Amino acid sequence: MIRAVQPAVVAHRGASAHRAEHTVGAYALAIEQGADGLECDVRLTRDGHLVCVHDRTVDRTSTGRGAVSTLTLAHLSQLDYSRARPALSEHPGDPMRHAGATPERGDRGLLTLESLLDLVADSPRTRLFVETKHPVRYGGLVEAKLVALLRRYGMANPRSKEESRVVMMSFSAMAVRRLRRHSATLPTVLLLDQLNPLRWDGTLPEAADYTGPGIHLLRADPDYVDRAAAFGHLTYTWTVDDPTDVELCRRLGVAWVATNSPAGTRELLTR
Ligand code: G3P
Ligand code: CA
């Protein structure tokens, strides 16, 4: 049975508790805070560029309005993305809750996946966890473009899945299958947010290498990690900010925890 001794810390949308999510500033801070990995969401612009935006629209996170898929890269690049207020920074227990109140350098611009890959290329110890959003709408274009871009960066053919600089993820089993078709050597995570998959018998019918249950699923069914481990599958869990959740993940042997506060979570794990 394989179990992680200590979960690796993955910065969810960057150090998004302290800086505006999906900005260069948020990812640079995550690397500075010693995150083992960076998580990002990718979408396609109208003119076919991969950009790091979580929501379908830019309404919440920028000064603009509209769906990413209907806007061009040039249009999206003119917006200010510093308005996505970090979620955890409002938390009275967060020692850094005042951080991020004033946007800093790197907090405003649109983040393209290329810029994020440049950052990762310069930080050899950091892995990138890329989640494709709404893959069905584009008939597989997002997955094809993602793997083609990784190929350009020399990151599409790792010597082994364990050594891969990039992990590809989706809530869509179809997207995971497509990702696998484009590269059999890159590791994949099937993300889960429903209770049903917890009846999982250990096989991975969707051909993913790992599963990524939300922390709410592990709270409801802590044996999940052991069942996965018995079949040789590591577990990735999101979004783990609460100290009780961090402790639960450590106790269960979760391999990767995605957190909005890499420094805070690391501090809890090293206690
Ligand atoms: O890391 C997986 C997690 O990010 C999935 O949820 O909504 O934050 O993309 P969401
Ligand atoms: Ca995500």
Q: What residue ranges line ligand 1, CB within 6 angstroms?
A: 12, 39, 41, 54, 131, 191, 238, 258
Per-residue pLDDT at 208: 84
Q: Judging by DSSP bridges, how do beta strands 50-51 and 37-44 pair with one another? A: antiparallel
Per-residue pLDDT at 174: 87
**Residue 236 CA: which ligand 1 atom is closest?**
1
Q: Supply the residue whose CA is at minimum distance from atom 2 of ligand 1.
A: 238
Tens of pLDDT, residue by residue over 164-178, are 999 999 998 889 989
Per-residue pLDDT at 63: 95
**Mean pLDDT value across residues 8-26:** 95
Per-residue pLDDT at 73: 98
Q: Supply the residue whose CA is at minimum distance from atom 7 of ligand 1.
A: 54
pLDDT interval class at 42 (50, 70, 90): very high
Percent of the chain with pLDDT over 70: 86
Domain boundaries, the chain: 8-41+121-269
Q: Supply the residue whose CA is at minimum distance from atom 6 of ligand 1.
A: 238
Per-residue pLDDT at 136: 63
Per-residue pLDDT at 179: 93
Catalytic residue IDs: 12, 54
* Distance in Å, CA 53 to ligand 2 centroid: 9
**Mean pLDDT value across residues 128-143:** 84
Tens of pLDDT, residue by residue over 84-105, are 766 666 655 565 665 666 777 7
Q: Tell me the best of 10, 22, 38, 39 to mutate to test the pocket of ligand 1, counting ligand atoms within 8 Å of each CB and taking the most.
A: 39
Does the pLDDT at position 50 exceed 90?
Answer: yes
Tokens of 212: 């990524």
The complex's ipTM? 0.99
CATH topology of domain 8-41+121-269: TIM Barrel (3.20.20)
Does the pLDDT at position 187 exceed 90?
Answer: yes
What rounded mean pLDDT belongs to the chain?
89
**Mean pLDDT value across residues 4-31:** 93
**Mean pLDDT value across residues 171-190:** 91
Tens of pLDDT, residue by residue over 193-212, are 886 655 566 566 556 899 99
Tens of pLDDT, residue by residue over 69-87, are 999 999 999 999 998 766 6
Q: Supply the residue whose CA is at minimum distance from atom 10 of ligand 1.
A: 54
Per-residue pLDDT at 85: 65
Q: Tell me the best of 170, 191, 235, 245 to mutate to test the pocket of ligand 1, counting ligand atoms within 8 Å of each CB and taking the most.
A: 191
DSSP structure string for 186-228: S-EEEEE-SSGGGG--S--TT--SEEEEBHHHHHH-TTHHHHH
Q: Tell me the best of 42, 236, 238, 257 to mutate to test the pocket of ligand 1, counting ligand atoms within 8 Å of each CB and taking the most.
A: 238
Residue carrying structure tokens 């809890």: 268
Q: Supply the residue whose CA is at minimum distance from atom 5 of ligand 1.
A: 238
* Distance in Å, CA 193 to ligand 1 centroid: 9
Per-residue pLDDT at 2: 55
